[in-house]
Amino acid sequence: MSSQTRVWRPDRPCSVGMLRIHRRGGGDPTYHLEGDRHWRGVRTPEGPATLAIRSRPADGEIHAEAWGPGAEWVLASVPGLLGADDDPSGFEPRHPVLVEAARRYGEVRIGRSGLVMESLVPAIIEQKVTGQEAFAGFRMLVHRFGERAPGPGADRRLWVQPDPATLRTIPSWEWLRMHVDPARSRVVVTAARVADALERTATVPHDEALRRLTSIPGIGRWTAAETMQRAHGDADAVSFGDYHVAKDIGWALTGTPFDDDELAAYLEPWRPHRGRVQALVGRAGLRRPRHGARMAPRTHLPARVTRS
């Protein structure tokens, strides 16, 4: 299978390492890291594609190569994927911790894939379970109902997520075999039924995108934010409802862990760049000290899911 290529010369230093936000655990079958080259299996509006991308800092270039029916589409998406559509103007770190983090780690750019279901489905699977359980469920979903990525992606055991039509037909017992309980599987299937409408949220403003996503029963502000950060490139999306985010940001900036309400009030002066604060704290690795045992994976299904 022949490939298509693209060389992009950004007007700023740009690392393809920011693509790791799309990686769902170390065993993500849609993502493969080979040296400095990042490989992704992507389902585009034109069909499946394999994307291989790396940066050439000495030349100030990003080199991308793609295979499959969606190759042209995914190559066209590369600048946006690496933050070219993001406008950080108006963002002031203000807080000394953020100022130092920005000095050390550089300007925060938020990339956008433009692919809502690609980010939404794993976010739903990650609702209120351990990362270990969520990543395992996502792997099983992709392996059982996805397809091999085209071209050399298949040689690297790279896969593409299942399409919405397939998601709509997966029976309840198959979800249980993948350790995805009915509370989450129902949300995935419901979203798949209106996938075209959800994909259109990638082109609307923050408040309207949030409203449309959360109009789906079982999609709350956490799931919406996790999706909007990746698919929409939304610099104002904050992961409210996350077990760690509010606590970590509060600890990093005030020395005291926050709850969600406290975090929302504290971040208000940074609107419409609140998500950029979360991203900068995360990039700097600022996390409160962990105490006690980690949350244990569940040993039975079904179980009630509360975070959405």
CATH code, 145: 1.10.340.30
Residues 54 and 120 in one domain: no
Contact 236, 274 (CB under 8 A): yes
**Backbone φ, ψ for residue 50 (5° rounding):** -105, 130
Residues 124 and 197 in one domain: yes
How far is it, in rounded angstroms, from Cα 125 to Cα 16? 26
DSSP 3-state assignment of 157? coil
pLDDT in the model for residue 289: 85
Is residue 79 in some structural domain? yes
Chain centroid to CA 174? 25
| DSSP code at position 53 | E
What tokens were used for 150?
Answer: 């085209």
Contact 53, 175 (CB under 8 A): no
Is residue 271 in some structural domain? no
Mean pLDDT score across all residues of the chain: 93
Q: How many domains in the chain?
A: 2
Tell me the average pLDDT across 41-48. 98
Tell me the average pLDDT across 202-212. 96
Q: Looking at the predicted structure, is the pLDDT value of residue 296 above 80?
A: no
Asked which of 187, 202, 217 is the last residue of a domain, the reply is: 202
CB within 8 A of 96, min separation 6: which ones? Answer: none
How many C-beta atoms surround the C-beta of residue 220 within 10 A? 18
pLDDT in the model for residue 287: 87
Asked which of 68, 86, 104 is the last residue of a domain, the reply is: 86
For 165, the domain range is 116-202
How far is it, in rounded angstroms, from Cα 160 to Cα 44? 10
User: Tens digit of pLDDT for each residue in 6-20?
Assistant: 999 999 889 899 999
- Tell me which residue of 278, 270, 219 sits closest to 246, measured CA to CA: 278
Residues 82 and 10 in one domain: yes
pLDDT in the model for residue 1: 80
Q: Is the model's pTM score more than 0.75?
A: yes
